[in-house]
Amino acid sequence: MRALVAGGAGFIGSHLCDRLLADGHTVVAIDNFISGRPQNVAHLADHPAFTLVDHDITKPLPDHAELHPSKPFDTVFHLASPASPSDFLRIPLEILDVGSTGTRIMLDLAVRDGARFLLASTSEVYGDPLVHPQPESYWGNVDSIGPRSCYDEAKRYAEALTFAYRRVHEADTTMVRIFNTYGPRMRIDDGRVLVNFIVQALSGQPLTVHGDGMHTRSYCFVSDLVDGLLAVARRGGPGPYNVGNPVECTVLDLAEQVIAITGSSSTIELMPLPAERAGDPQRRRPDLHRITTDLQWVPKVGLDEGMRLMIAAIAAELDAVD
Ligand code: UDP
């Protein structure tokens, strides 16, 4: 397969590139490094089946031999978007652009080539959910003007656009809704909870738990997530499919686990919920019935095992900075 990975230098995108190459495919990654990092794919620089194109997908495709119609793609994976709540505050317009214009340009490319198109959507389309756990049939509870709306609504629009291309152009589309994912290659300044807690624990600072720490999330290790993406891409069909880990834990619990695994002497500091977090989802857990029934996909990596791998990666990165 000749695959295009939009967002290929990002956290999940770079792991997907690794996996596609290991499986013998040819990969063209596009990234503008707004949240992705060159170091995530630096180890692939000399790989004969890998090309990295530095480009913003909200702009027309550049004149590049690997993007020419004479070399059509079989699959277009669209993972390009900043995805951390700190990005929602910093670059909301860019997030809206990549979810709308960027998605349209990637869909046009897939139609041009007759390629299968996989949209990486998000559990954020469920907003602050009133149904728990969240099945794909749930329409969500999204604040259309709050601090998260740039991401939530961009992804909801991207889903609508993808289904419109399917109906109007008979495009071969599919989609996943990705729940909280963690693992090596998340930026240490990403701002998401596990990165914050691990950096804080390793540097002896207090772990900053928002509110009473009773919010819940369900954390999926990145290798499981990539397995899920590939299972959905192979099967095709409209989706969407939830992809995530169904083991739910509170943020306070997570902080305690990070302290236990790192052996850190850090304390836990309950701090007021930051103002921009007021509308955050209180609980989140995927209902995986659809993907487990249709694709027999189940996550395999437990939180303890996955956290150890992520802690080792962050420790190495912090050591390199020192
Ligand atoms: N959170 C926290 N301390 C932090 C960062 C996040 O308590 O330093 C909480 C946050 O309020 C939310 C949960 O952790 O309840 C998950 O936040 P994250 O930014 O990881 O991702 P989200 O799932 O909200 O997009």
pLDDT per position as a tens digit, 198-256: 999 999 999 999 999 999 999 999 999 999 999 999 999 999 999 999 999 999 999 99
Q: Indicate whether this model's pTM tops 0.85.
A: yes
- Helix pair 103-113, 149-169: axis angle to 10 deg: 20
* CA 94 – ligand 1 centroid, Å: 22
CATH topology of domain 2-181+220-243: Rossmann fold (3.40.50)
Residue 53: per-residue pLDDT: 98
Residue 161 CA to residue 99 CA, distance in Å, equals: 10
* CA 195 – ligand 1 centroid, Å: 10
Which of 122, 212, 280, 284 for mutating ligand 1's site (highest number of atoms within 8 Å of CB)? 280
Catalytic residue check, 126: no
- Per-residue pLDDT at 54 exceeds 80: yes
Query: Is CATH 1.10.357.10 correct for 183-217+247-285+302-321?
Result: no
Task: Please count the CA atoms within 13 angstroms of the CA of 292 that sit on its side-chain side.
Answer: 11
* CA 4 – ligand 1 centroid, Å: 31
Pocket-forming residues, ligand 1, beta carbon under 6 Å: 85, 180, 192-193, 196, 208-210, 215, 217, 251, 277, 280
Strands 216-218 and 248-250: antiparallel
Domain positions in the chain = 2-181+220-243, 183-217+247-285+302-321
The helix (run of H) or strand (run of E) holding residue 294 is helix 289-295
3-state secondary structure 107-132: HHHHHHHCCEEEEEEEHHHHECCCCC
Q: Which atom of ligand 1 is nearest to the CA of 196?
A: 8
To 10 degrees, the CA torsion angle through 90, 102, 181, 12? -110
Residue 134 CA to residue 278 CA, distance in Å, equals: 21
pLDDT in tens, 151-206: 999 999 999 999 999 999 999 999 999 999 999 999 999 999 999 999 999 999 99
* CA 251 – ligand 1 centroid, Å: 7
Which of 210, 249, 285 for mutating ligand 1's site (highest number of atoms within 8 Å of CB)? 210
Which residue, judged by its Cα, is nearest atom 15 of ligand 1?
215
Residue 275: per-residue pLDDT: 85
Question: What DSSP letter does each residue of 186-213 carry, written as one string?
Answer: --TTS--HHHHHHHHHHTTPPEEEETTS
Q: Which one of the listed residues 151, 182, 219, 241 is annotated catalytic?
A: 151
Residue 276: per-residue pLDDT: 86
